Structure 1
Amino acid sequence: MILLSDGSNNAGVLDPMEAAEIAKKNNTIIYTVGIGAGEMQVREFFMTRTVNTAEDLDERALIDIAELTGGQYFRARNAKELSTIYDTINALQPVQQATQSWRPKTEWFFVPTFIALLLLAMTLMIRRSHV
């Protein structure tokens, strides 16, 4: 499993370390990826301001989750680093059997549409005959 996060626990009822314990019990390896570029300059209409995109990054939590489950922690500051991380994880944990499945897709929207049009036509004919 790949956990792409800033590590900040701001939602859910389950503590991240409890979830990691459950993953460990089920022999699930979690590779954690901390995201955020750090400080960067953002141009606004009249000025430029400095924004820290990694301000909420909790690297300690991400490292602990990865270590607990036998995975590794990675840090991604941009899209290129993220791509490299995915390649590294793929080399560490290759997919044993990649399967592809197709699901038949049949559109059925025309059935209720046809019925609605048929009922509308019948209603119009009945109203005309009563006028």
Structure 2
Amino acid sequence: MSMPARANPQPALRVPWGERLRKVASGRVLEVTSRGFPWLAMLAWCLLCVAAARPQQLGPAVAPPQVGRDMMLAVDLSASMGEEDMELGGRLVDRLTAAKAVLADFLDRRVGDRIGLVVFGDRAFALTPLTLDRDSVRQQLDASVVGLAGRATALGDAIALSTKRLQQQRTEQRVLIVLTDGVNTAGVLEPAKAAQIARDTGVRIHAIAFGGEGGGALSVFGLQLPTGGDEVDEAGLQRIAKLTGGRFFRARDTEALAGIYAEIDALEPVQRQGQAVRPRIERYPWPLGLALALGVLALLLRRRG
């Protein structure tokens, strides 16, 4: 004979969310829903997604000022630049080696300048365009050797080529520094004609006559004897500098050359406008802050429910 099942007053299933189930059964969740908690949470979540997308706004265009010059360096690589009549670090070196050492120090100090390099011999060649990368200019200068562009001196062509490179720049920024140790013996243009073109274009030329008094030196039993190289055309370089509003310098040794470039380095920099930029303004703090506020409000409504 079967016995009737005993009534068990204890619940058959225990769950940690039993209280919530009783609220669902009693309809209290609908009351919480009517108070707006779920849609506040969803709105807060949407705002968090917007903030995570990192919204940005472009600000007004700004052209920051830049201090510097646009400067071309024209360096003579003719055969006479191989004359060993310069002293550097207690030893006798050729003129080009001395010029490289001085120019390297000059480049180190010209932070903010755009510098280009032209070398000339039988013809003139542009090794680097106007650039802020002074290391590239230094590397090209270090790689230059006597006779690379020929053994003659095309001074006029070097001035013309440098002028062409500078003609796209503003008038007050066009500066050319020419270093040579001889006279114009090659090329298409005469230096005077090239200087007139430079003047009309607004290029100011600083001319440096470099080298000893008429050639290099030959060491015989410890005595330095002149070899009778070409004289420097000081008068012609003076006319070029004066015509274009620049200055003429005479350097007979490495120390004098360093002083000349230090003097040129002391020229007042030219203020020019940099490339216009539009700064990015971050806007994510607004949706992030609103999402946090709605999240707090939703939690408060939940506790009340």
- TM bucket (normalised to shorter chain) is 0.5 to 0.7
User: What is aligned with 1:38?
Assistant: 213
Query: Which structure 1 segments of 5+ residues have no match?
Result: 100-131
Distance 2:241 2:209 in 1: 11
State whether residues 36 and 54 of structure 1, in contact with CA within 8 Å, keep that contact through their aligned partners in structure 2.
no
Measured at CA, do residues 12 and 62 of structure 1 come closer, stay the same or move farther in structure 2, by a change above 3 Å?
same
2:258 partner letter: S
TM-score by length of 1: 0.62
The residue matched to 1:66 in structure 2 has which SS?
Answer: helix
Comparing 34-43 with 69-78, greater Cα deviation is found at 34-43
Measured at CA, do residues 85 and 10 of structure 1 come closer, stay the same or move farther in structure 2, by a change above 3 Å?
same
State whether residues 7 and 61 of structure 1, in contact with CA within 8 Å, keep that contact through their aligned partners in structure 2.
no
Measured at CA, do residues 7 and 25 of structure 1 come closer, stay the same or move farther in structure 2, by a change above 3 Å?
farther
Query: Which structure 2 segments of 5+ residues have no match?
Result: 1-175, 275-305
1:9 aligns with 2:178: no
**Which of 4, 7, 23 lines up with 2:198 in the alignment?**
23
1:83 partner letter: A
The residue matched to 1:37 in structure 2 has which SS?
Answer: coil
State whether residues 6 and 54 of structure 1, in contact with CA within 8 Å, keep that contact through their aligned partners in structure 2.
no
Comparing 3-12 with 19-28, greater Cα deviation is found at 3-12
TM-score by length of 2: 0.29
> With CA pairs under 8 Å and 6+ residues apart, which has the higher RCO, 1 or 2?
2
The structure carrying a bigger strand percent of its residues is 2
**Which of 58, 82, 93 lines up with 2:233 in the alignment?**
58
Q: Which has the larger radius of gyration?
A: 2
**Which of 232, 251, 269 lines up with 1:94 in the alignment?**
269
User: 1:78 deviation in Å?
Assistant: 1.3
Distance 1:92 1:5 in 2: 21
User: 1:5 deviation in Å?
Assistant: 1.0
The residue matched to 2:204 in structure 1 has which SS?
Answer: coil
Runs of at least 4 residues of structure 1 off by over 3 A? 46-49, 52-55, 93-97
Distance 2:243 2:265 in 1: 20
User: 1:79 deviation in Å?
Assistant: 1.4
User: 1:64 deviation in Å?
Assistant: 0.2
1:85 partner letter: I
User: What is aligned with 1:105?
Assistant: none
Comparing 15-24 with 85-94, greater Cα deviation is found at 85-94
User: 1:81 deviation in Å?
Assistant: 1.1
Q: What do residues 17-40 of structure 1 show as CA deviations (whole Å, max 9, x unaligned)?
A: 111011101111000000112267
2:210 partner letter: I
- Percent identity between the two aligned chains: 40
Distance 1:60 1:35 in 2: 13
User: 1:43 deviation in Å?
Assistant: 0.9
Measured at CA, do residues 12 and 41 of structure 1 come closer, stay the same or move farther in structure 2, by a change above 3 Å?
closer
User: 1:87 deviation in Å?
Assistant: 1.0
Measured at CA, do residues 36 and 95 of structure 1 come closer, stay the same or move farther in structure 2, by a change above 3 Å?
farther
User: 1:41 deviation in Å?
Assistant: 4.9
1:65 partner letter: I
State whether residues 212 and 252 of structure 2, in contact with CA within 8 Å, keep that contact through their aligned partners in structure 1.
yes
Measured at CA, do residues 42 and 69 of structure 1 come closer, stay the same or move farther in structure 2, by a change above 3 Å?
same
User: 1:83 deviation in Å?
Assistant: 1.1
Measured at CA, do residues 85 and 38 of structure 1 come closer, stay the same or move farther in structure 2, by a change above 3 Å?
same
User: 1:51 deviation in Å?
Assistant: 1.2
